[in-house]
Amino acid sequence: MKDSVLRMEHITKKYKENAVLMDVNLHIMRGEIYGLVGNNGAGKTTLMRLIAGQSFADEGSIYLFDSNEEKKNAEYRKRMGALIEEPAFHLGMTAGQNLEYFRIQFGIPEKNRIHEVLSMVGLKDTGKKKVSQFSLGMKQRLGIALSLLHSPELLILDEPINGLDPAGILEMRQMLLMLNRKHNTTIMISSHILAELENIVTCYGFLSRGRMLEEITSQALAEKCASFLNIFVDQPEKLCRLLEKELGYKDFKVYPDQCIHLYEGLEDGNKICELAIRENISLNGLEKRRMSLENYYMKLVEEC
Amino acid sequence: MLNYMRSEAYRLIRDKKIWILFFVFGVLLSSVVGVLAYFQNYAENFPYGNTKFALSNIYASLTMLLYVAGGFVLLLNDGDKTHVYKNSIAFGIKRSTVLLGKLLVQAIIAVFSCLVLAGFYAFLCDRFLLHSDVGEFNVYWNAIFSGSLGLLAALTGVYMFMMIADTMSLAMIYSVAAIVVVPTMLNLLGRRIVILNIISKCFPYIAMAEYSNHTLTFEVTGRDTFTTLLTGFCWLTGFLIFGMILFKRKEIR
């Protein structure tokens, strides 16, 4: 049976009078790759900063590694690696020196661990180049290397593919999958590039305006991401009235680009065409599609 | 704590700024002695080429060393605009360990630097200048001893403000206000209001200034030494507690 590596209960965080997180509950089980999805300002980074101890919740509790004592969180954080917001390093030192600094600090006895993690992120050839001369992508890679330095059981990554080129994104995905499958590392990852999350995540948490809308496994999400008919017409409002009146369809949504998403009657394309022609509505396109993660999230936000 | 201090020592030893500072101060002190010795040897009736004058530049201006202590901390922490210690906290290192660990290493380096440079200066004066033989070396070393806690208090104060304030500019403003401006204002107002005069003497800046004044006439008493040490100790403790309390709940970005 899987055990819990992170449990957040009724978390509320306010900055002055502005609530950035409100009654958030979150659960991550061992071995999961948890994707935290939310738009800008949803509270993803704030949530991760609370987990990392860089900020404090005004209400609620955080439990790490199935513990029931928040006081021990500092100790349990030694089993956790984190890359939150911009990676922070001593700019006048090289990549190796920065990692050596943290290796000493974390009490890691194996010196060759530095070379290992630098190889994993593709930075083993930076030599004497100081971090001040690194590109954003290189700093991001170094941040990931640091989060892996002590072989953590739980990895918290806040938009780790920021600044990475396509090859880097692919390497990152492969590395995270390897860590999860080979070492059973639990990963919590946030990203704006939802297509990337879809490739690796096993469980999602949807956050919007400081509230956790839903936590769902990728399997359940796939079932929920219903197919729909994508209908392009010149008079969408008129067609919608007719769909409801003539065919009894009520589960549809109109988009600004004169597009209707119809979630029922998926095999009735012919009937819809006939209706449009009969009522002199110009039909520009009709196709069957599946809801993307972005659309699912947007629909969830609107419903809530 | 030990691991943290070792990592900080590793970082600071590799920081060129410390070595440049050593070199600059070494050159400065050598230049002072060099100029005095030159004029002592080549100018007629030059009254300043002696150990008393040279050493009095230090013991009669102890408050100047407060600025040096503050500047030293600013220099060592200048590169941490990105708050590298947030990685340490995310790893589970306690905030108190981060705060005290960094401070201790910097204080040790500061004390070591101070002693080495003070010794170097005393050596140069002894070697190249005319000996005044009025007990100036005793006054010099007593002054350094008496001012040590005040200097450490200034170093601690600047460091704490840097760790707590949101920007470097704010940290500098708070530091200068707490260490120099407030005691100076109190001292000035104290010329009219007695209680303020007494309060001003509780600040290291004023205590060290008064100590320095007494060194000029070689009238330093045990009470002066005790007062200077005590004010330094109280403010050092005060800054430590103040810093620990505020840093514990600081939002780290």
10-residue mean pLDDT profile of chain A (304 residues): values are 86 92 96 92 94 94 83 88 92 95 96 94 91 92 94 94 86 91 94 82 93 92 82 92 91 87 86 91 89 82 77
In total, the C-beta contacts within 8 angstroms joining chain A to chain B are 86
Q: Tell me the C-alpha distance between B79 and B17, whole Å.
A: 10
The alpha-helical segments, DSSP class H, found in chain A are: 44-51, 73-76, 95-106, 112-120, 136-148, 166-183, 194-200, 218-224, 236-246, 269-278, 293-303
Give the position of tokens 């589960």: A251
Q: What integer pLDDT is reported at residue A194 of this predicted model?
A: 80
CB atoms within 10 A of CB B178: 21
Q: Tell me the C-alpha distance between B210 and B33, whole Å.
A: 26
Is there a contact between A78 and B14 if contact means CB atoms under 8 Å apart? no
User: How many helices and strands in chain B, by DSSP H and E?
Assistant: 12, 0
Question: CB under 8 Å to B115, separation ≥6 — which residues?
Answer: none
Q: Spell out the domain ranges in chain A.
A: 4-223, 226-303
**Using CB atoms, which residue from B14, B83, B249 is nearest to A88?**
B83
- Provide the token pair at B34: 């060099």
> Could you list the residue range(s) of the whole structural domain that residue B159 is in?
2-248
Of A144, A201, A134, whose CA–CA distance to A168 is shortest?
A144
Q: How many CA atoms lie within 13 A of B19 on its CB side?
A: 6
Residue B253 included in any domain: no
Which CATH number does the domain A4-223 belong to among 1.10.3720.10, 3.10.450.50, 1.10.1660.10, 3.40.50.300? 3.40.50.300
Q: Tell me the C-alpha distance between A156 and B152, whole Å.
A: 39
Return the sign of the alpha-carbon dihedral for residues A112, A117, A123, A128.
negative
Q: For residues B50 and B131, is the Cβ–Cβ distance under 8 A?
A: yes
Is there a contact between A82 and B3 if contact means CB atoms under 8 Å apart? no
**Using CB atoms, which residue from B3, B94, B249 is nearest to A56?**
B249
- Provide the token pair at A272: 């819809």
The helix/strand/coil state of B29 is helix
- Helix H or strand E segment including A267: none
Q: Tell me the C-alpha distance between A126 and A118, whole Å.
A: 9
* Domains in chain B, number: 1
Please measure the distance between the N-terminal and C-terminal CA atoms of chain B and give it in whole angstroms. Answer: 23
Q: Tell me the C-alpha distance between A139 and B189, whole Å.
A: 53
**Using CB atoms, which residue from A86, A105, A156 is nearest to B4?**
A105
For residue B128, the one-letter residue type is F
Nearest CA distance, A111 vs chain B (angstrom): 14
- Helix H or strand E segment including A22: strand A18-29
Question: How far is Cα of residue B92 from the mean position of the Cα atoms in its chain?
Answer: 32
For residue A222, the one-letter residue type is A
Collect the ranges in chain B with pLDDT lower than 70: 78-82
pLDDT digits (tens, 9 = 90+) for B88-109: 999 999 999 999 999 999 999 9
Question: CB under 8 Å to B241, separation ≥6 — which residues?
Answer: none
**Using CB atoms, which residue from B11, B79, B86 is nearest to A101?**
B11
Give the position of tokens 């509950």: A25
Q: What integer pLDDT is reported at residue A59 of this predicted model?
A: 94
Contacts of A80 in chain B (CB under 8 A): 90-92
Q: Tell me the C-alpha distance between A139 and A131, whole Å.
A: 7
User: Is A282 buried (19+), middle (13-18) or exposed (0-12) by CB count in 10 A?
Assistant: exposed
Contacts of A73 in chain B (CB under 8 A): 92
Angle at A97 between CA A96 and CA A99, to 5 degrees: 65
Q: For residues A83 and A159, is the Cβ–Cβ distance under 8 A?
A: no
Is there a contact between B90 and A105 if contact means CB atoms under 8 Å apart? no
Angle at A13 between CA A11 and CA A18, to 5 degrees: 140
Residue B148 included in any domain: yes
For residue B229, the one-letter residue type is L
Is there a contact between B7 and A82 if contact means CB atoms under 8 Å apart? no
Q: Tell me the C-alpha distance between B179 and B168, whole Å.
A: 16
CB atoms within 10 A of CB B219: 9
For helices B62-76 and B136-164, give the axis angle rounded to 10 degrees: 40
Fold of A226-303: Alpha-Beta Plaits (3.30.70)
Is there a contact between A146 and B89 if contact means CB atoms under 8 Å apart? no
Q: Tell me the C-alpha distance between B86 and B95, whole Å.
A: 10
pTM value > 0.95: no
Dihedral, CA of residue A65, residue A67, residue A70 and residue A75, to nearest 10: -60
Q: Tell me the C-alpha distance between A161 and A174, whole Å.
A: 12
Is there a contact between B87 and A85 if contact means CB atoms under 8 Å apart? no
Nearest CA distance, A89 vs chain B (angstrom): 5
- Provide the token pair at B175: 């530091």
Residue B125 included in any domain: yes
